[in-house]
């Protein structure tokens, strides 16, 4: 009977076989991307530039309200009022100066104390917006069929971009000046820029109170109604530069 014999490889052969396997395992366990060492002499700080601004964008929202026993009746009445107001407002519309647009339009059931529908009520809005304050306030005064429900001020895109450009230059200049001063204070010659971010904050304006009920006459017979009295508020627009610099010897 023939016996099969299994001969173990020699120690030298086993070592030659294991070395490639161990090397492959070591490579697979190593990180795929070794992070570079952090640079020395890194300083992080921010610099800002701020400008006080007067709001130049006026937004007036007017609204018509109607009630009736039939939804179609209320809707038809609101449409007639809104179309007449649009026709009048468009006579004074001007690009940038005064834009005219419609707001919300809704008709909803009205309920009694028992929870049953006993009529319908609705509202339709017209919005005047622009930088020509005189044009907007005079137009508002002529729209006697609508009531003013909201008056607000904002900052026009053109004025905002104009000031943001100048403020950005100021903030960058202040950032660079501070970086040079920090390098000098540490006894170093200069700096190189690292990661830098530039951001602007929305201007925080406080709204002015308005006496809406006393603003305008309620009578539709007053064809030459007085202009809407308004006054803009003020606030601050800021641009901030934040980031890091590497000080150089």
| Three-class HEC string of 220-243 | CCCCCCCCCCCCCCEEEEEEEEEE
Distance CA 115, CA 118 (A): 9
Q: Which domain holds residue 202?
A: 38-56+156-212+235-249
What is the length of the chain?
249
Q: What average pLDDT does the structure give for the chain?
A: 83
CB 130 within 8 A of CB 56: no
**Which range among 10-14, 179-183, 232-236 shows the weakest confidence by mean pLDDT?**
10-14
Q: Which of 165, 160, 156 is nearest to 96 (CA)?
A: 156
CB 136 within 8 A of CB 217: no
Residue 33 lies in a domain: no
Residue 109 lies in a domain: yes
- The predicted pLDDT at position 33 comes to 57
Within this chain, do residues 190 and 135 fall inside the same structural domain, yes or no? no
Does residue 218 register a pLDDT over 50? Answer: no
- The predicted pLDDT at position 155 comes to 86
Within this chain, do residues 84 and 109 fall inside the same structural domain, yes or no? yes
Within this chain, do residues 103 and 142 fall inside the same structural domain, yes or no? yes
Rounded mean pLDDT of 107-129?
94
Within this chain, do residues 203 and 242 fall inside the same structural domain, yes or no? yes
Within this chain, do residues 148 and 202 fall inside the same structural domain, yes or no? no
Does residue 65 register a pLDDT over 80? Answer: yes
Number of Cβ atoms within 10 Å of the Cβ of 227: 17
CATH number of the CATH domain containing 69: 3.30.70.2970
Residue 220 lies in a domain: no
Within this chain, do residues 242 and 179 fall inside the same structural domain, yes or no? yes
Within this chain, do residues 42 and 90 fall inside the same structural domain, yes or no? no
Distance CA 192, CA 167 (A): 23
Within this chain, do residues 61 and 49 fall inside the same structural domain, yes or no? no
Question: Where is the domain boundary, 105, 134, 154?
Answer: 154
Q: Which residue has the higher pLDDT, 232 or 167?
A: 167
Residue 22 lies in a domain: no
* pLDDT grade for 234, boundaries at 50, 70 and 90: confident
Angle between helices 133-142 and 71-90 (to 10 degrees): 140
pLDDT single digits (tens) 139-160: 999 999 999 999 998 888 888 8
Q: Which residue has the higher pLDDT, 4 or 100?
A: 100
- The predicted pLDDT at position 35 comes to 64
Within this chain, do residues 249 and 167 fall inside the same structural domain, yes or no? yes
Within this chain, do residues 148 and 70 fall inside the same structural domain, yes or no? yes
CB 42 within 8 A of CB 196: no
Rounded mean pLDDT of 196-219?
57
- The predicted pLDDT at position 23 comes to 55
pLDDT single digits (tens) 13-38: 555 555 555 555 555 555 555 566 66
Residue 68 lies in a domain: yes
Residue 223 lies in a domain: no
Question: Where is the domain boundary, 134, 154, 174?
Answer: 154
How many domains are there within the chain? 2
Within this chain, do residues 177 and 139 fall inside the same structural domain, yes or no? no
Question: Where is the domain boundary, 154, 184, 199?
Answer: 154
Within this chain, do residues 244 and 197 fall inside the same structural domain, yes or no? yes
Dihedral of the CA atoms 156, 161, 166, 168 (nearest 10)?
120
Residue 201 lies in a domain: yes
Residue 88 lies in a domain: yes
């Amino acid at each position: 009977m023939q016996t099969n014999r299994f001969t173990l490889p020699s120690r030298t052969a086993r070592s030659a076989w294991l070395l490639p396997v161990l090397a492959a395992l070591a490579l697979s366990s190593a990180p795929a991307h070794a992070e570079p060492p952090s640079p020395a002499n890194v300083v992080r700080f921010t610099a800002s530039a701020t400008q006080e601004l007067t709001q130049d964008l006026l937004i007036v929202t007017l609204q018509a309200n109607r009630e009736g026993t039939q939804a179609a009746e209320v809707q038809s009445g609101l449409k007639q009022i809104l179309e007449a107001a649009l026709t009048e407002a468009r006579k004074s519309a001007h690009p940038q100066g005064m834009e005219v647009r419609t707001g919300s339009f809704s008709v909803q059931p009205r309920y009694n104390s028992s929870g049953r529908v006993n009529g319908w009520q609705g509202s339709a809005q017209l919005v005047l917006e622009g930088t020509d304050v005189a044009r907007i306030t005079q137009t508002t005064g002529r729209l006697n069929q609508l009531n003013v429900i909201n008056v607000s001020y904002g900052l026009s895109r053109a004025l905002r971009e104009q000031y943001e450009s100048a403020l950005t230059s100021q903030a960058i200049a202040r950032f660079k000046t501070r970086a040079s001063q920090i390098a000098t204070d540490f006894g170093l010659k200069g700096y190189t820029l690292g990661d830098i971010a530039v951001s602007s904050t929305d201007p925080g304006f406080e709204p002015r109170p308005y006496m809406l009920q006393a603003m305008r006459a309620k009578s539709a017979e007053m064809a030459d109604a007085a202009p809407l009295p308004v006054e803009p508020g003020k606030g601050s627009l800021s641009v901030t530069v934040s980031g890091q610099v590497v000080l150089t010897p």
